Structures are given as C-alpha cells and as structure tokens.
Structure 1
C-alpha cells in the first residue's frame, strides 16, 4: 500500500487509538536534530520508516527505545 493510499484509508476509518497518551510518547521519545556530520560513514542510513523520505539537515527526529529514528511529527501522531 502506498503512503497516499494509507492516508486515504485513515480518512475513511478515522483515528485509531494507540492507547498511548501524548505525554507517554513524549517520555519515551529521545528528540534530536538530524546532522549529516554526526552519522558514521560506515553506517547505511535508512529513510524515515513512516514517510519514506530521506532526512535533511536540521530535521527534527525522534528515537524510540528500539533505536529507530522517525520524523518527530509523525511518531507523535
């Protein structure tokens, strides 16, 4: 399913509760800004798992306990 199809599906079914409050997510979300200078050259960088876009300098990211990074605005949703 494409991202656009998922957005259309969301519009049809409405919001689905994750049972996590925004406060609970914020406690677990380690926020930082993306900087290409901080990444290791040997590490292959993956795009945001949610929007599939590459990170650009200064993007606000959130890292969950699992170690994955996401654009902060998406993970809060």
Structure 2
C-alpha cells in the first residue's frame, strides 16, 4: 500500500506541474496529457480503495476468528 501512496503523491506533483504549464500555455496536446494523468491517478485511488476494503475485511475476519476461539474456550471451562 505504501508504494501505491507514493505513486499517488507523485501523480499529484505531476498534475500540479502540468496544470501550471497548461495555465500558462493551453494547448490540445497538454490537455490530453492532463486527462491521461488524471485517469491514471483515479485508477490508483480506486486501487487504494480496494486495498483498504480488503484490509478491513481481513481485520474483521481475524476479529471474528478470535471471538469464536474465545467462545470455544469458554465452553470448555
């Protein structure tokens, strides 16, 4: 996940640079590069959401497993 966050940070820096260049000299080619950069960042943000959901699910499964183990131990006592 850390690598993904690093890439998102780089995407933001790239977007700032591109937007600055576009504001000084707008043109069709730069607009297309901006669009591609935004779509790439969106894909990475979507991937980050998926990873967060997966981590949450994994955490919830671990908590449930511990609860079941505790219930089994309580019944044995």
With normalisation by structure 2, the TM-score equals: 0.26
Q: Per residue, is there more strand in 1 or in 2? A: 1
- Structure with the larger RCO, 1 or 2 (CA within 8 Å, 6+ apart): 2
With normalisation by structure 1, the TM-score equals: 0.26
> Rg larger in 1 or in 2?
2
Q: Per residue, is there more helix in 1 or in 2? A: 2
